[in-house]
Each structure stands twice: as C-alpha cells, then as structure tokens.
A = this chain, B = another copy of it.
Amino acid sequence: MANSPIKSPLPESDKEVTGNILQATLVDLVDLSLIAKQAHWNVVGSNFRSAHLQLDELVTTARNYVDEVAERANAIGVSPNGKAKTVVESSGLPEYPDNWQSVESTIAAIVDILAEEIARLRKRIDETDKSDLVTQDLLIEITRALEEAHWMWQAQQA
C-alpha cells in the first residue's frame, strides 16, 4: 500500500512532525502497559495486594491512551506501529528487571519510568503547539493522567 489511504487534515510538514510524536508516544505507552503488567504479576512483599491492584489500574490507563494515540495517528493520515519489535527498538522507557521484585523496588522502578515518560510528554506538548493543537490536547490529557499516577506511586515512598 504505497500511498496513504487516509488524507490528512494537516499540511505535510505538520503531519510529519505530529506523526513522529504520536508514533513515539504510542511506543512508549505500549511499553508502559507491558511493564505494568509484568510488575503486576511479579511484585511480592507485605504490601503485595495494594501494589498488585494499583499496577492493574496503570495497565488500564496505559492501554486506553495507547488506543487514543494510535487512532489519532490514523486520523492525521499516519499508520501507527505498536508491534513488539517496534517497541523494543524505539521505546524511550528504562528497562524493567526480570523475575519477582519486592514492593519497594517495584515502586521505585515505576516512579522512575513515569518520571521519564512525563518528561518526554512535556517536550512533545511544546512541539505540537505549532504543528497540531488537537494532538496537543490529547498529549496534555495523557500527561495529566500520568502525573496523577506519578504522585500516587511517589506517595508510597514517603
């Protein structure tokens, strides 16, 4: 399928800038959803149940925005790519360790991962200010959700 079957509402250069941002965000969020599931299964320790449940909420948050971002890419005429291989090659998130993890190290890892993703999203909010306000609005919404999650995970470290 050489030519895009979806016409973009954006001029070519805005489409390219915005499309790259959406694709990068998609990959990060797929990775986040897999990491949160991995942590959900492998957390152990006296606060197991709380962390186990909270991680599943994070999975849900990540999965919902994965869909929004992929559909937004389509809406501006860019094919989204969220396959495992693409995630491994281009995700910007720190790696998550193998094997069971204590609640404490689970929390620490999730806090770091969220902090990294929030920083990346805030840069993208700035970049879309020129290229596409509609995409910017979606990025702001995702950032609000992840910053709220970030607080809730940090609150357990105090």
Copies in the complex: 12
Q: Are A9 and B150 neighbours in the complex by a CB distance under 8 Å?
A: yes
Q: Are B143 and A134 neighbours in the complex by a CB distance under 8 Å?
A: yes
A115-158 contacts to B, CB under 8 A, are: 115, 118-119, 122, 125, 133-134, 137-138, 140-141, 143-144, 147-148, 150-152, 154-158
Interface SS of chain A: helix
Does A74 lie at the interface of the complex (its beta carbon under 8 Å from any beta carbon of B)?
yes
Q: Are A48 and B147 neighbours in the complex by a CB distance under 8 Å?
A: no
Q: Are B151 and A6 neighbours in the complex by a CB distance under 8 Å?
A: yes
On chain B, the residues within 8 Å of A157 by CB distance are 5, 46
The answer for the CA separation of A121 and B19 in the assembled complex, in Å, is 21
Query: Chain A interface residue count: which class?
Result: 35 or more
Does A42 lie at the interface of the complex (its beta carbon under 8 Å from any beta carbon of B)?
yes
A contact residues vs B (CB 8 Å cutoff) = 1, 4-7, 9, 30-31, 34-35, 37-38, 41-50, 52-54, 66-67, 70-77, 79-88, 91, 95-96, 98-103, 115, 118-119, 122, 125, 133-134, 137-138, 140-141, 143-144, 147-148, 150-152, 154-158
Q: List 9 A-B contacts (CB under 8 A).
A: A5-B158, A7-B154, A34-B83, A37-B67, A46-B156, A47-B47, A49-B53, A84-B91, A100-B158
